[in-house]
């Protein structure tokens, strides 16, 4: 890069506005903005998930409390023991059991009141409280009337209590809780959808802003770009790739992240429908947790793609033999875990021009794919090779796994592309090959599916050799 030493740019000097540092600042500004948008959505999704889980937990506790309350005051609890004590006042254990049921029922009322207060529902439960106090007071009266010699029928007529309003009051409260929780869950879903839409629009606008900035600068400094046409062309290619990645992220955010949200909403509906079936509610909650974990996996993969895919390669002259040795050493635990046989071969005696960390990332990603999509009936066998071909370094990762149909040779390198359904035993979210393609192309190389193998899969890519290597070839 030529440094500008005067107040005006000469025709052979790059305008300051188009210097490498200025382009880098603009690109990282957009990337940072996109990262902020994604982080906001991640935070919003986590908040929605936490709040929804708390609401479902509250509703589940309320259902349990109501079921227990009905047992304590129903015809298997307080009312049952009270009636039996009226009929047989000499059997004191009925009175003691009735007092115990009343005490437990009062404690359960407090739980229900607290649950209702947490979602702004006024739940005094005065009828139920009055019923419990009424039965408690009548227990003493039954004892006194029995002591006076009255018959059970006469006692029953004097202490009889209408408990229907109380029982209806509890059912009404449970209905209100169900409705309130459902309303809040729907509101959370709408907020999540709105956040997703805003982040998608924001990402698209940032891409449009970047294109607008580039166009204006090109127009403003057209006269000064003559001797820097090659530099500008390379910069435009990088910017176009960045815009393409931003558009892909917008599609991923609006589609792939919404799929788990739809499942979460479906299981929320099932929870409402199966509200009286605790076991079913627990199963639905488990399914919701699975979808939340799926969202976490997608978001982690997207962040990984952003971090590695947008990294500018720091080019070094690499000794591939040493790089292979380092990779093999780092993979020993995984190789042992999969009981795999992994071979590394190279005849490259001269260096390759590449970023060591990013190149290792590509090879590790391809090997990881071979681990994932292995043939369960065979021991895993992977061959990693690097050879010279046409003044280029040709790398290949070949395995004996389930293979890839040649029809999908282009699709497999797209972000979030998966050839297996959601219920497939093969895990992953479809980022690995896309990330490998992004890194290889950032080095000016090519990556492809080799369809010449008879079984398994072979992914190959090419990189530049050092200047000395090319001259020797």
pLDDT of residue 10: 45
Per-residue HEC secondary structure of 28-80 comes to: HHHHHHHHHHHHHHHHHHHHHHHHHHHHHHHHHHHHHHHHHHHHHHCCCCHHH
Rounded to whole angstroms, how far apart are CA atoms 142 and 126? 24
Partners of residue 384 on adjacent β-strands: 344, 397
174 in Cβ contact with 130 (< 8 Å)? no
pLDDT of residue 12: 46
Q: Computed over its alpha carbons, how large is the radius of gyration of the chain?
A: 35
Rounded to whole angstroms, how far apart are CA atoms 455 and 38? 40
Rounded to whole angstroms, how far apart are CA atoms 320 and 349? 8
pLDDT of residue 2: 31
Rounded to whole angstroms, how far apart are CA atoms 327 and 300? 23
pLDDT of residue 307: 58
Of 316, 354, 319, nearest in space to 443 by CA: 354
324 in Cβ contact with 366 (< 8 Å)? no
Q: Give phi and psi for 9, each to the nearest 5.
A: -85, 130
pLDDT of residue 335: 93
pLDDT of residue 5: 39
Rounded to whole angstroms, how far apart are CA atoms 429 and 24? 30
Q: Give phi and psi for 393, each to the nearest 5.
A: -95, 120
pLDDT of residue 293: 73
Domains in the chain: boundaries: 1-310, 316-472
CA-based end-to-end distance of the chain: 30
Q: What does CATH list as the number for 316-472?
A: 3.30.565.10
pLDDT of residue 382: 96
pLDDT of residue 20: 58
* Tens digit of pLDDT at every position of the chain (473 positions): 333 333 444 444 555 555 556 666 766 776 777 778 777 768 777 887 888 887 788 778 777 877 887 778 776 788 888 888 888 888 888 888 888 888 888 888 888 888 888 888 877 788 888 888 888 888 888 888 888 888 888 888 888 877 778 778 777 877 877 887 888 888 877 877 887 777 777 777 776 776 776 567 667 766 656 656 666 675 676 567 656 655 655 555 555 566 567 667 777 888 888 878 888 778 878 877 776 776 666 676 566 556 555 667 889 999 999 999 999 999 999 999 999 999 999 999 889 999 999 999 999 999 998 998 888 889 999 999 999 988 899 999 999 988 888 888 888 887 655 554 454 454 555 677 888 898 999 889 999 998 787 788 999 999 998 765 444 44
Rounded to whole angstroms, how far apart are CA atoms 168 and 183? 23
């Amino acid at each position: 890069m030529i440094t500008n030493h005067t107040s005006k740019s000469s025709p052979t000097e790059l305008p300051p506005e188009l210097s490498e540092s200025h382009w880098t600042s603009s690109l990282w500004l957009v990337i940072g903005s996109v990262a902020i948008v994604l982080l906001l959505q991640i935070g919003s999704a986590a908040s929605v998930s936490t709040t929804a889980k708390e609401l479902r937990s509250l509703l589940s506790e309320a259902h349990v409390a109501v079921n227990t309350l009905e047992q304590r005051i129903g015809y298997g609890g307080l009312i049952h023991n009270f009636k039996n004590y009226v009929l047989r006042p000499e059997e004191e254990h009925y009175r003691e059991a009735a007092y115990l049921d009343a005490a437990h029922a009062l404690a359960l009322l407090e739980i229900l009141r607290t649950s209702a207060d947490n979602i702004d529902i006024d739940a005094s439960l005065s009828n139920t409280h009055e019923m419990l106090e009424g039965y408690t007071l009548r227990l003493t009266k039954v004892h006194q009337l029995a002591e006076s010699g009255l018959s059970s029928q006469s006692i029953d007529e004097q202490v009889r209590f209408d408990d229907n309003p109380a029982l209806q009051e509890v059912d009404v409260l449970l209905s209100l809780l169900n409705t309130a929780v459902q309303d809040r869950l729907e509101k959370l879903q709408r907020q999540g959808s709105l956040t997703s839409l805003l982040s998608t629009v924001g990402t698209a606008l940032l891409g449009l802003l970047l294109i607008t900035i580039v166009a204006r600068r090109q127009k403003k400094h057209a006269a000064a770009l003559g001797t820097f046409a090659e530099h500008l062309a390379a910069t435009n290619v990088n910017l176009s790739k960045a815009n393409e990645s931003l558009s892909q992220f917008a599609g991923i955010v609006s589609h792939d992240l919404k799929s788990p949200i739809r499942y979460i909403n479906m299981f929320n509906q099932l929870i409402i429908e199966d509200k009286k079936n605790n076991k079913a509610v627990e199963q639905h909650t488990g399914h919701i947790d699975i979808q939340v974990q799926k969202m976490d996996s997608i978001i982690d993969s997207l962040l990984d793609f952003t971090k590695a895919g947008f990294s500018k390669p720091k080019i070094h002259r690499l000794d591939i033999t040493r790089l292979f040795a380092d990779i093999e050493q780092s993979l020993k635990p995984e190789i042992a875990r999969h009981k795999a046989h992994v071979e590394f071969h190279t005849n490259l005696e001269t260096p390759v021009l590449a970023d060591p960390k990013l190149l290792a990332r590509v090879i590790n990603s391809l090997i990881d794919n071979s681990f994932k999509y292995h043939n369960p009936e065979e021991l895993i066998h992977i061959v990693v090779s690097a050879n010279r071909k046409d003044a280029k370094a040709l790398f290949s990762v070949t395995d004996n796994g389930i293979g890839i149909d040649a029809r999908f040779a282009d699709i497999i390198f797209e972000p979030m592309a998966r050839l297996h359904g959601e219920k497939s035993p093969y895990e992953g979210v479809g980022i690995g090959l896309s990330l490998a393609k992004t890194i290889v192309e950032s080095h000016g190389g090519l990556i492809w599916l080799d369809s010449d193998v008879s079984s398994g899969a072979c992914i190959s890519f090419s990189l530049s050799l050092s200047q000395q290597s090319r001259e020797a070839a």
